[in-house]
Amino acid sequence: MSKKFLTDVIVQSTEMPAVAANRLASDLIEAIKTEITGTGRFTLPDFGSFVVRETPKRTAMNPRTGEKVPVKAGATVRFKASPALKEAALAGMKKAKRKAAKA
C-alpha cells in the first residue's frame, strides 16, 4: 500500500479534491507514526496492530567475507494481523486457488 493508493481511495469514496486527499493521507500516516513512537503500539480494529519490539545486541556474519560483525541493539516495528484479516486473507487465497484450478 502506498500513499498514492490511500489518496486514490479517499478521492473515490469522498469525492474530495486530490490535493486535499493527499494532505489527509499524509496526516493519517503522520498520526500513526506519532502514536507508534509515543506509545509503542497502534491498533486498527478488524485490521491488526503495529507493535514496537526491541532487538537485542547480537553478532552477525558478513556474507562476502565471512567475518563476524557486531550488531547494536535496536528496535523494529512488527505487524500482527487481526483474526478477521487473517480469515479474509485465507478466504481470498482459497478463492484464487479455485479460480486457478478452473482455468
Structural domain count of the chain: 2
For 12-38, how does the pLDDT look when each residue is reduced to its tens digit (9 = 90+)?
Answer: 999 899 999 999 999 999 999 999 999
Domain span at residue 1 reads: 1-38
Average of per-residue pLDDT across 43-54:
94
CATH classification of the domain holding 94: 4.10.520.10
Residue 8 and residue 58 in one domain: no
* pLDDT higher than threshold 80 for residue 60: yes
Whole-number pLDDT of residue 100: 82
Residue 32 and residue 78 in one domain: no
Q: What percent of the chain has pLDDT over 90?
A: 81
Question: And the C-alpha cell for 93?
Answer: 487465497
Q: E strand or H helix at 47, and its extent?
A: none
Residue 52 and residue 96 in one domain: yes
Q: What percent of the chain has pLDDT over 70?
A: 99
Question: And the C-alpha cell for 8?
Answer: 486514490
